[in-house]
Every structure is written in C-alpha cells, then in structure tokens.
Structure 1
C-alpha cells in the first residue's frame, strides 16, 4: 500500500471528466481487428484522429497475460521491505508515489524494467526466494509477444502510408540497441481516502502526459481508470477491457509523420475500492536514432514542423520535464515571418 502524509493529500486530486459531448466524441474507442489486413486503413485513421485505439485478435497468448498479471499482483502484495529490495529506480526498479524527478506524484506503485534480452533483472531477482528465474521468464515471454504485435501494427501503418521499406518503423524496435522500456503499474485501493474526496474531484493515479517513445502497448485488468484528452481539452474515461490491448501514438511517431499522427495526452485516476494493474510496453528507437519527419511522407513544398533531434536528446529532455509539460513544443520549428 502507498503511504501518504496528510499535508500531501491535496496533490493527489484532479477534476473529474467533463460530460461527453456526443457531437465531438464517437460512440466508442476506435477498434482495430488485427486479423483483418484491411483494418490498416482504420488503424491509420485512428492515429490521425485520436492517436489512440483498441486492438482485438492480437495473437498474444492469454496464458502469458494472466501469468504476468498474477506475478505482478504477488509482487505488489509483498511487504514494503521486500519490494524495496528492487528499488529505488535508477532508472530501473521499484518505485511508489513519486513519478520522475520533477515533483509529480500519483497513487501508484510500479516496476520499471529494461526489456532488452541482453539485460537482466538482478535488482528484482533477489526478492523472489523461490524460483527467481520465473519472473524473468514471465516478463520475457510477455514482452516478446507485445513487441511482435507492436511491430505488426507499425508495418500495417507503413503499408497504408506506402512507406518503403515496410519495416522502416518496426526495425527501430527490433534493433538490438532499441531503447524500449517495460512498466508494470499497480494502483492500490484507497478506501481510507474516500472521506477526503471533494465533490467533482478524483484521486490521481498517474498524471496527464504523452508518451515520448514511438508506440505504447497497454493492457490492464478490468478496473477503470484510464482517461484520454480530446481535441477540445475534455477528458473521457476509457472503458476497461482486459482481453484487448490499447495503443498510444508516441511523441516520436508524431514527429516522424510530421504531425499527421497525434500523440495523445492521457492520465489514470485511481479507484478507491478496487486495485488496477496495467502493463505497458514503450517501443523506443536506439539512443542515436535521428527523429525527424520521414522524407517519403513530406509532400512537395511541405516543410518539416520539427527541428531534427536524436532520441537520446529528446529522452533526456522529456524525463527532466514535468509530466504535463509540452515536451514537443521546444522542438517545433517557428514559422518564418514574411
């Protein structure tokens, strides 16, 4: 359980979602069936209109999903003294309440892992007294499958956009030096804070932000909490679906498509009665990869909207900024004055 002192309680509340305007919000989150190749058109449209969509028939074995969730709950249910053996994150490991270096807080505990096959989980293995290799195998199996799915999605995008080669995006995740990250979040129930809830406000689990990488693959249990921000600035709740995956366009992909795809702002509100578990694969490029609009996407006389930068430069800037900061803003080109 996350421990809070009374003076910090107010930091954990945000306004609830505005009522959904049916004229500006479609009846449901864009749904992509990965078993149907013709869905690639809908996939690209979802990236342009929302920057967010749900996928079904994704091919990730249910046994891998259930096993990882089970191991995650087992870990987060352990005594704090046990969990702290895997932290604090530097950058990988266990953390709670504090998110990043800039004062952001949330009602959350988490494990941040390096999914690279060449890495190890030595920080975490010490907490498992029996069968310490089990956790690593569970994570490896799960990440391999969601990475495969992420690459399939990126190749469908490339095919629909008529990009050559077809793996122009997916190869960045498949690269041995890919700087991807895997995160498991646990939002514990907090009934003792119900008395502190103020009318029209919710307990914040993870503050509003965009994901800086190329693509994010999210799966959670059947507890609600995820919210996305629409173009008009209103927040809407995403209905939970433990059998499907949700995909976010990241900042890097927004730049690579020269703004055609939108990196969506999202957040998580905590549930005072039920716990929420989410697992997120953040597909990132190698640190030395240049992030810039793909030349084949730029039409005649179309200028790049962004300054060229490397993933290392953007990652460094993003992770030294507050969650809600407009990270891409400083990398946008200022239109020339005539």
Structure 2
C-alpha cells in the first residue's frame, strides 16, 4: 500500500489569507483521514542537540540511570530499563526517561481523585546536569507550539480557535520521553519479537515527535495494515490523541501506531512530547459542522475513552506499568490485572 503522509508548512498559516486557507484545509484532511502529518517551518532548530543529549543520557553507566529508577517513583517518572513499560501486556523493547510537569511534591489526601497521584517533581540525573535546563527549555517551546497547533486544529474544523483553551490553561499535563530502541546485537540473537513499542493510541490531545534518521514508526492506515512514516529531517511528526477524538465525536482520528525494533546493531533514538489537557479537565464537543456530522468515537474492546483526562491517562498508566501499580498503588492493582492483558 502506498500512502503519502501530508507535509504541512507552518509558515503558510501566517502568510496570505489564501495560504492560510490552504493550510487549514490540508490540516483538516490530515487529522480526519490519517491522524498523522509532518510539520515543517516551525522555527525550532535544535533537533540534533536534543537527540545528542538523549544519546549521552542512555550512554551513562547503568548505575547512574538506575539512580532514577522509575520503580521508585509513584509519579511514573524516571528511567525505565528495557521491558519495563508494557503495551497490551507485552513488554516494549526500549529504554526511556519519563518527564512530566515540574510541580511541588504533594501528598494525596483521602478521597482525592486517583489521577492526582501523578502530581509532583521530576527526577534528574546528577551525572548529567546539563540535561535538565535543555529539556525544560524544550518543553517550554514545544508547549507553545502545541498550543498554536491546537488552535489551528480548531480553526480547521470551523470552531472558535480558543475553544479548547480552557482544557489546557493554565497547566497542561505535558509528558516528554527520551527513548532508545536498541536493535539486537547480531542476527540470530533476537528473542523473536520485533516490538519496540506495541500497537497503541496516544491518550491526550496531540503529540510532537522528533526522531533520528532510523525508520521504525508505523501507522495503521487501513484495516490493520501498517505503513512506515518516512523520515523527513527537521520535521515534527504530529499525531492526535484520544481526547481530540472524543471532543470531535470521532471526526479527528487517534490512529493506532507502533514502533518496530531497528535492525541488528542499530540504535534508534526519538523524543515524543505529549500535549494534554489539565488532569481535571473534561472535554466538551467542539461546535463544528464536521463534528456534528461525525460517526462517533472508535469502539475498541477493552479501551474505553474517558472525557476526563485524568481518568484517561490513569487508564494508560495502569496498563503500562503494572510493577509501579503493585509497588506504590496496590489499591489499583485489581484494575491493572483486569485491563493489562
């Protein structure tokens, strides 16, 4: 199957009225028909620096990385060894560093919503002090870019540009991952699985992805058929999450995707940035003629979609990190056991 993934130039959105209208139409088609596109002209030019910092982090001695062991974090923050995070109950073959909003530590009170257990500070490597300021700068800039894209998405659907501002302001629940996918050392030394990251949808609003020159990201474009997203230098891969599917009654697609492991001896690095509503925000339908005529959200067995973002993200954490749930949130373990298969 031949699929052309749209390439949108953000500079067109600030050009002539004609160029903006063309951009908005291309955006609407992309988010409805594929749910993925590549974004250029965004003004962010330090992809190589961030990928190099990621390589340096994963090259640290294992003891330095394990000082940030995610198993020690009830907030789901820190370093994961290969196989720590699961997709549909199957371990993913990748290392990662998970980073969320930098917030003061708090102790949940009885009766607090479960999702408030995710609020608190990040964990940073003492052996690499330059990582924190670089990532915090990156998060600030990608938060601004994501909010701009969210407004353009609303415009492309003939909804007010600021309609979704209330679900993200003043503190969107951002999430950033540094990811390292190592290929098997030599042909014949594999465990038989090519799963880098298993088949899934993203949970929130939208994702901006930076990756190196190694392929591996695949998108289900039709009837479970997966197609490789071509590598385009200096482009963000942008895809939409389940909460936008909810807000648009299924008009916007939160498309299934996966990452396959690289070839033997190859190391793949990527940095996804997830832009999400506040934990306590509930999605409302966009006032849009496209939404009014939409067919409804995807009905996937075992994957209910919740309009309250905190509930949706905890659904994902319970499935992805059963060991953290068992260690820090044992009251949720029965739920984990029933939904992680």
Equivalence for 2:111:
none
Using the alignment, how far apart are the partners of 1:237 and 1:204 within structure 2? 14
Q: Does 1:321 align with 2:311?
A: no
Shift of 1:69: 1.4
Structure 1: runs of 5 or more not aligned: 1-19, 324-338
| Residues 74-100 of structure 1: per-residue CA shift (max 9 Å, x gap) | 110111111101112530000022214
Equivalence for 2:124:
124
Using the alignment, how far apart are the partners of 2:43 and 2:148 within structure 1? 11
| Residues 291-327 of structure 1: per-residue CA shift (max 9 Å, x gap) | 242245577798976987311122222332369xxxx
Equivalence for 1:168:
163
Structure 2: runs of 5 or more not aligned: 14-19, 106-119, 299-304, 322-341
Equivalence for 1:53:
37
Q: How does 1:93-172 map to 2 (within 5 A)?
A: 93-96=78-81, 97-100=83-86, 103-116=89-102, 123-128=123-128, 132=129, 134-164=130-160, 166-170=161-165, 172=167
Using the alignment, how far apart are the partners of 1:285 and 1:258 within structure 2? 17
| Residues 152-188 of structure 1: per-residue CA shift (max 9 Å, x gap) | 2111111222222x22235534x23321111111112
Q: How does 1:67-86 map to 2 (within 5 A)?
A: 67-86=49-68
Please provide the CA RMSD for this pair.
Answer: 2.7
**Any idea what SS the aligned residue of 2:154 has?**
helix
Shift of 1:284: 0.8
Describe the shift of the 1:304–1:269 C-alpha distance in structure 2 as closer, same or farther (beyond 3 A): closer
**Any idea what SS the aligned residue of 2:202 has?**
coil
| Residues 230-265 of structure 1: per-residue CA shift (max 9 Å, x gap) | 122101111222311000110000110111000011
Q: TM-score, normalised on structure 1?
A: 0.77
Describe the shift of the 1:240–1:117 C-alpha distance in structure 2 as closer, same or farther (beyond 3 A): farther
Match of 1:246 among 230, 237, 245: 237
